[in-house]
Amino acid sequence: MFDSPHISAAASPASPLLSVSGLTVFYGNIRALHGISFDVMESEIVALIGANGAGKSTTLRAISGLVPHKGDVVFGGRNLRRVRPENITGMGLVQAPEGRCIFHNLSVLENLKLATWQRRDNPQITRDYERVFGCFPRLAERRHQPGGTLSGGEQQMLAIGRALMSRPRMLLLDEPSMGLAPVMVTEIFRVITEIHRDGTSILLVEQNANMALRHASRALVLETGLITHRGTGAELLGNPLVREAYLGG
């Protein structure tokens, strides 16, 4: 549904789409990330789980170029060290941030339109609006409604839909189910699965560890800025230490 036009000759099919190496972030004198390294391959969902303050959102923000960091972030074969955040988005690495960050005074349609400012393929933009509305029928019903009048779940749909309007090759999702009712959490993960099935790679930060691990190809556990466990989603679901810490035993 959201096939990506972003193709890099520098990255072979066997190479990671995203490679993070020695990622270190300081907030003042506080080290938030301690040189973490991991890869995300094409068409994978990789989940990053951990407690509050573990450094999950910081990881996404560093990858997106939103916080200063040491280490290397390579996307599609290109090192992002000196690439501006808006240009990272233009390369197809797009984040839907924690807290949704929609524009409350703008309509649903206007929020979606903001994500197309770098695009010049107007016929495809029109098709992508309809694809987002097909993915999120509630947004279609409310396309002229101000974003601030939507429910929490609908605002999350809008945040993901806005990210999709940038036609991502990889989508960074930061706590997409936070604060949502169980029925809405199920709906959000249904859409995440659909987006992935259509070929978009996903790096998912999520406190609902059970849902994240059930949907992930692979997963990482982050504790106080360090990766302490790695494996497939199924492996970490069965790990007694992970179960005790994050899955209620």
pTM of the model: 0.89
Tens of pLDDT along the chain (249 residues) come to 555 554 444 444 568 999 999 999 999 999 999 999 999 999 899 999 999 999 999 999 999 999 999 999 999 999 999 999 989 998 999 999 876 688 999 999 999 998 887 777 878 888 899 989 998 999 999 999 999 999 988 999 999 999 999 889 999 999 999 888 899 899 999 999 999 998 999 999 998 999 999 999 999 999 999 999 999 999 999 999 999 999 876
- What is the model's pLDDT at position 213? 97
- Give the span between the Cα atoms of 25 and 67, in whole angstroms: 8
Q: Concatenated DSSP letters for 55-87?
A: SHHHHHHHHTTSS--EEEEEETTEE-TT--HHH
- What is the model's pLDDT at position 9? 42
Nearest to 11 by CA among 41, 36, 37: 41
Hunting for tokens 């930060």 — which residue is that? 205
CA distance readout (Å), 124 to 34, 109, 127: 42, 16, 5
- What is the model's pLDDT at position 12? 45
- What is the model's pLDDT at position 147? 93
**Are the CB atoms for 203 and 46 separated by under 8 Å?**
yes
**Are the CB atoms for 157 and 188 separated by under 8 Å?**
yes
- What is the model's pLDDT at position 249? 61
- What is the model's pLDDT at position 1? 54
